[in-house]
Chain A
């Protein structure tokens, strides 16, 4: 009967192999934008929000008459898969997007390991890749089709920390804490440089595992180091909140920084009173005079989808779509290589106003989105924008 089993399963196997081998996606007037994002686990909300923003951008473009290339009109369609934040799943997603859905443009991808997995395929198969991976190694002349769709520590940290220092001249020492993952490691390297550059001494730098729920011990340690400032680098807002709460309980007071902190909710939810006066480098405020109605709409939409307000990571997934439209119409082509060539030249309407791509100096090739760095600070449980640092390169290009 085992032989019987062999035959049946063989037949079954071959059958599905065939059925899948003969799959082909139709490429009509719709251009698919692939997304590789976490849709489950701790990072789920980032992915869900990103997907919604991508779709929203697509809707907006459709309403605006679509993408006009060579007399034809195209529209975007976002296809998002869960990369579970690791390379293996990231590869599955990559293969599925490129091979099953025949995607030619990756509208955005999140998480260093999965992005690398994706990149190893996109560059070979000539697919244009937008990503929010922070490692500087992800960009460069070797990866001509890779573009970063949000500010990375490279852009954020130096201006942010310069500002924090100028606001708190008394500050002499800092203690760092980062999640033990790629994002954390990338951020920590630059953070050290940034703090040293403004003459603040780094007393200690610690790591914790993502998914940790108990922050008392590390808080005790940080408090024990007695730094003037505590910098939680790439810690997610909710973790950061817990740490600050425990720090307060341990009796520590000082300057609180979350360099790539992306939002107030998580911070307040877990930190409550303890997070007052915390500085963040990747969060955005959507109340206040200079906020456009469109920004309010987008923010409301993300809030509806995720229960949290829109953050800088997610915004990148809106901007990339807008950038694509501009680039395609400029190049009058829907060929990834042609589009990639013009991306550094065009400007486009990002959530933060007009933006472009550059970064030749830092990365050796212009693959970094140019949007303002926004320094925000908690005031009670409200997030307030305290400074907006425009990108010099963009200013020049716009001739301001």
Chain B
């Protein structure tokens, strides 16, 4: 089963790459990039939910990835892929320390530590001058040869990472994480180091978030501290809730829907907030399991009917 899912997933990603490659550069391609990045961010958030924690430091990790890639590009001008990877690694290293120290707390406490951490990191950017202070960093461009292919590249990277996350989730490690969410005492009682497992889980998520950040830096060319406030985590959570966190495709569905809605709502001024807020509120009220939840239910009903 898992294998087949992976293959069909890979197929879908390939298909998307072709689709984006076929598109003429324009607003559409940008939209694709934003959606892809949103998907990855939400997926990172979801991955930490496997151990039952809401990781609001996601925004911080995205930021670290973006600034990591930004510094590597503009200051040290390393090769493109290295920069991207560097961003991810920065996030992982920080995630390792952050997780090791804070994952002893749980639930709302962990959530709000993450929140505080995000704010601190953001404030640090504003005070560090070689990071551009408040006005941020400019000129984070992908290499020329990639200009035309950037959306394809982004979709490909995101797709591959999503499949990787899915594979990890289905692995014994992933099962252990879910077991921890269910009942960490039992997991501990059978000789598994719960704390380190949690930390490892956070690091994986941090890497995904970091790459998402790096990609967004290259897509936007400009980054500023304001981009990585806690609202980013909040929106990621929104994508996840609207899409449905039980299903690995939840982030995809949610991000696609909400980012498209946002681009429609754009230009409504204050109305944009109302519109967006309304979308979130209604979807959590009307479909507690999110879009994927609805689809699955419909699918099962259909199967029952055909069976009967």
A residues neighboring B (CB under 8 Å): 1-10, 12-14, 16-18, 20-23, 39-40, 44, 47-48, 79-82, 84-93, 95-96, 99-100, 112-113, 116-117, 120-121, 135, 180-182, 184-185, 209
Contacts and interface: CB of A to CB of B under 8 A. Distances in A.
Contact of B135 (A40, A84, A92, A182): A182
Nearest to A100: B27
Interface of B: 4-5, 8-9, 12, 15-16, 19-20, 23-24, 26-32, 34-35, 123, 126-127, 133-136, 138-139, 216, 219-224, 226-227, 229, 247-249, 252-253, 256, 260, 263, 266-267, 269-270, 272-273, 292, 295-296, 299-300
B28 A20 contact: yes
A115 to B, nearest CB: 9
Contact of A81 (B27, B133, B267): B267
Contact of B134 (A22, A44, A181): A181
A17 B23 contact: yes
Contacts of B222: 87, 90-91, 113, 116-117, 120
Interface centre among A1, A89, A99, A121 (most CB of B within 10 A): A1
A23 B266 contact: no
B138 A116 contact: yes
> Nearest 9 CB-CB pairs, A to B?
A86-B226, A21-B28, A20-B28, A39-B269, A100-B27, A87-B224, A113-B224, A88-B227, A99-B27
B267 A79 contact: yes
Contacts of B269: 39-40, 44, 47-48, 80, 82
Interface centre among B12, B133, B134, B224 (most CB of A within 10 A): B224
B220 A117 contact: yes
Given A2-B247, A9-B249, A18 B19 contact: yes
Contacts of A3: 4-5, 8
A68 to B, nearest CB: 29
Given A182-B135, A184-B134, 7 more contacts: A9-B253, A10-B15, A44-B270, A86-B229, A87-B223, A91-B220, A113-B222
B252 A9 contact: yes
Contact of A40 (B29, B35, B272): B272
B256 A10 contact: no
Contact of A95 (B19, B30, B126): B30
B134 A16 contact: no
A7 B229 CA distance: 34
B226 A21 contact: no
Contact of B256 (A12, A82, A84): A12
A5 B247 contact: yes
Contacts of A96: 27, 263, 266
15 contacts: A3-B8, A5-B295, A5-B296, A6-B9, A13-B256, A48-B269, A81-B266, A87-B136, A87-B227, A88-B216, A90-B222, A91-B221, A92-B266, A120-B139, A182-B134
B172 to A, nearest CB: 19
Contacts of A14: 15-16, 19
A88 B220 contact: yes
B21 to A, nearest CB: 11
A180 B267 contact: no
Nearest to A85: B226
A95 B136 contact: no
Nearest to A133: B135
B176 to A, nearest CB: 21
Contacts of A12: 256
A1 B5 CA distance: 10
A95 to B, nearest CB: 4
Contacts of A82: 266-267, 269, 272
Nearest to B26: A99
Nearest to A3: B8
Interface centre among A2, A3, A84, A135 (most CB of B within 10 A): A2
B5 A9 contact: no
B247 A23 contact: no
Contacts of B253: 5, 9
A256 B253 CA distance: 55
A24 B16 CA distance: 22
B27 A20 contact: yes
Contact of B273 (A40, A135, A181): A40
Contacts of A90: 222
Nearest to B1: A2
B210 to A, nearest CB: 16
Contacts of B226: 84-88, 113
Contact of A10 (B12, B32, B139, B292): B12
Nearest to A8: B295
A21 B23 CA distance: 6
Contacts of B300: 1
A16 B223 contact: no
B220 A80 contact: no
A99 B24 CA distance: 11
A153 to B, nearest CB: 14
A6 B250 CA distance: 11
B28 A112 contact: no
Contacts of B133: 182, 185
